Amino acid sequence: MIQGMTGFGSAQCLLGKTKLVVEVKSLNHRYFDIALYLPTGFGSVENRIQQLTQKYVERGRVTVSVKIIHHWSTQVVVNKDIIRKYLQHGHDLAKEFHLENDLKLSDIVQLPGAIETKEAFLEVEQAWPILERCLRRSLEGLHHMRRREGRSLARDVADKLKGMDGRIRQIITRARTILKERQKELSVEEFQSFQKCCDISEETSRLTHYISEAKGLLRGTTPVGKKIDFIAQEMQRETNTIGSKLQDKIVIQAMVALKSKIEKIREQAQNIE
């Protein structure tokens, strides 16, 4: 089943007390285009995220957002080597100048560099296995949503193609009627010339073939948006040729309806992967 290009997926995963939130959304685009919004320090996994995303999305503008919630904790670091030097210097000064060595714990912890607090941030490589699982879940959600849109788009395009079939039959029937009418009015030579100029069998045959091709693409599983758009362009070309050959009110009305359906198919092709 074909896929649309609009979708959204999200997932949350835990790594200890760390919560990873991954959101993926996509919009229609002519090619694959990705934008990443990652926490500071996660640049090293950009390529891995892009490669994984492309396994689920071949066409569309994709945005991947990764957020880390409550990931930091405060660590207290006691610099014992620095404290030993403070105590040694204090002992030496007291001995040399005959001072009372009255250093207390409360004094020591306030000395510069003796006690430090540091924020412990999440390591990228440590987080990647969890982040990868979370990203896959988000992409699966995006994939399911795009497939649902694809089913809807396929039904709409198939309906337009069915309507085109009816208009083509109407044009063929009207062309035959016109030939019969003009055969009675024209000489054999004039009729042969008119018949040759107004022959639309090639154009209608191609239109029927393109409709069959488009229906087959709708039943496939590979990205077909560009192919359907190309086919619709060729349909427009054949339709214009028919209009230039048959200047008839009924044919013109059918042509307008035919062009309208082709244009709508082209619009929908922009939303199909």
Q: What is the pLDDT of residue 63?
A: 98
pLDDT tens digits, one per residue of 101-116: 777 888 887 888 888 7
- Give the range of the structural domain holding residue 47, as residue numbers without chain letter: 7-70+122-145
Whether 129 and 17 map to the same domain: the answer is: yes
Tell me the residue type at 12.
Q
Residues 179 and 200 in one domain: yes
- Position 23 scores a pLDDT of 98
CA distance 178 to 198: 10
CA atoms within 13 A on the CB side of 78: 6
Judgement on whether residues 84 and 66 belong to the same structural domain of the protein: no
> Where do runs of H (alpha helix) occur along the chain?
46-54, 80-96, 105-108, 124-185, 188-197, 201-218, 225-245, 249-269
What is the number of domains present in the chain? 3
pLDDT at residue 138, rounded to an integer:
97
Residue 1 lies in a domain: no
One-letter identity of residue 179: L
For residue 2, being part of any structural domain is answered with no
CATH code of the domain containing 197? 1.20.120
CA distances from 261 to 161, 184, 247 (A): 8, 35, 20
Q: Which of 85, 111, 145 is the last residue of a domain?
A: 145
Residue 77 lies in a domain: yes
In a domain, 138, yes or no: yes
Q: Which residue has the tokens 């990705």?
A: 34
- Are 79 and 109 in the same domain? yes
Which of 145, 180, 202 is the endpoint of a domain? Answer: 145
In the predicted model, is pLDDT for residue 71 greater than 60?
no
